[in-house]
Amino acid sequence: MKDKVVLITGASSGIGRALAFAFGREGARIVICARKAEALQEVSTDLQQAGITVLSLIADVSREADVQQLIEQTIARFGRLDILINNAGISMRSMLIDTDPAVIQKVMDINFMGTVYATRYALPHILKTKGSIVGISSIAGYRGLPVRSGYSASKFAMNGFLEAVRTELLHTGVHVLTACPGFTASNIRVSALDAHGQAKGETMRDESNMMSAEECADYILRAVKSRKRELILTTQGKLTVFINKWLPALADKLVFNTLAKEKDSPLKK
């Protein structure tokens, strides 16, 4: 990773922040972006204090113009782009019957269209370096999760998009990785939107035994180095994908029962 330029979206906390440190410690030059200026500046300061070269840019990945400018500023500063990590994302938690469709649209705009914009405008530069495009997806991109229909849809869309792009680029030397963490300790559940688009402000799961964001970032770093096609993390995540493929009716029951145990779950038998 020495002197490679790595752009990470949604890097003001959680997995994005951990990825910035993981790649930065390997000698990469890091570009981080997020919507929250104060949180982003804190990460930028921490990276600089760790001796990591960093460019910090405010950007909302759901806005095409923001993403175009993000790529342009990256190239203006470093002259190249080696690795794009599409990490920016938001979740939602409500039953479909109660959900304002605008909430699902917002989730799709950030999680899916943000990936589309960044990948599209980064691609000419990544083709030159024969670099990597990474999507931080989810087990919810393989198995639809109740009470998270919009989030699952956005991750299914990301998975299909990256698979298509990977195939388009098959003979170009560009690497495409779909990385799917299982339940990871991060702030995505705290910032999850409710039925009316308001952040819930608390997690509904016990995060004490979850994989840490730092551990997740280390797995992703190794997957980029080895140019893996796909990364599915945690035993629970791998088992969920396996059962859903071969025993889908059983998966329906197991997923329902597991998520019905969450705090204040609306799922009722």
User: How far, in Å, CA of 143 to CA of 116, rounded?
Assistant: 21
pLDDT band for position 187 (cuts 50, 70, 90)? low
Which CA distances in Å does 206 have to 143, 185, 189, 191? 21, 9, 11, 16
Percent of the chain with pLDDT over 70: 95
User: How far, in Å, CA of 117 to CA of 129, rounded?
Assistant: 19
Answer yes or no: 151 catalytic. Answer: yes
The answer to whether residue 242 is domain-embedded is no
User: How far, in Å, CA of 99 to CA of 197, rounded?
Assistant: 9
Identify the sign of the CA torsion 70, 93, 183, 263: positive
The domain total for the chain is: 1
**Model pTM score:** 0.93
Q: CB-based contacts of 61: which residues, under 8 Å, 6+ apart?
A: 9, 10, 33, 67, 88, 110, 113, 114, 115, 117, 118
Instruction: Report the pLDDT averaged over residues 113-141.
Output: 97
**Residue whose pair of structure tokens reads 């998270």 in the numeric block:** 148
The answer to whether residue 64 is domain-embedded is yes
pLDDT band for position 122 (cuts 50, 70, 90)? very high
- Helix, strand and coil content of the chain, in percent to the nearest 5, comes to 50, 15, 35
The answer to whether residue 241 is domain-embedded is no
Could you report the per-residue pLDDT of 201-244, keeping only the tens digit for each?
A: 665 656 667 789 999 999 999 999 999 999 999 999 999 999 99
**Residue whose pair of structure tokens reads 């869309």 in the numeric block:** 157
The answer to whether residue 106 is domain-embedded is yes
The answer to whether residue 47 is domain-embedded is yes
- CB–CB of 137/180 below 8 Å? yes
- CB–CB of 195/97 below 8 Å? no
Length of the chain in residues, anyone?
A: 269
Beta-bridge partner residues of 7: 31, 84
Nearest to 29 by CA among 145, 98, 129, 103: 129
- Domain of 10? 5-235
Q: Which two three-digit tokens encode residue 135? A: 């999507």
Angle at 50 (CA atoms; ends 214, 69), nearest 5 degrees: 80
Q: Residue 193 sits in a domain of what CATH number? A: 3.40.50.720
User: How far, in Å, CA of 65 to CA of 194, rounded?
Assistant: 28
Question: What phi, psi does 65 have (nearest 5°)?
Answer: -65, -40
Q: CB-based contacts of 129: which residues, under 8 Å, 6+ apart?
A: 80, 81, 82
Burial of 170 (0-12, 13-18, 19+ CB in 10 A): exposed
The answer to whether residue 130 is domain-embedded is yes
Could you report the per-residue pLDDT of 144-182, keeping only the tens digit for each?
A: 999 999 999 999 999 999 999 999 999 999 999 999 997
The answer to whether residue 178 is domain-embedded is yes
Among the listed residues 117, 121, 142, 151, the single catalytic one is 151
Q: What is the DSSP letter of 162?
A: H
Say whether pLDDT at 264 is over 90.
no
Q: What is the DSSP letter of 35?
A: S
The answer to whether residue 255 is domain-embedded is no
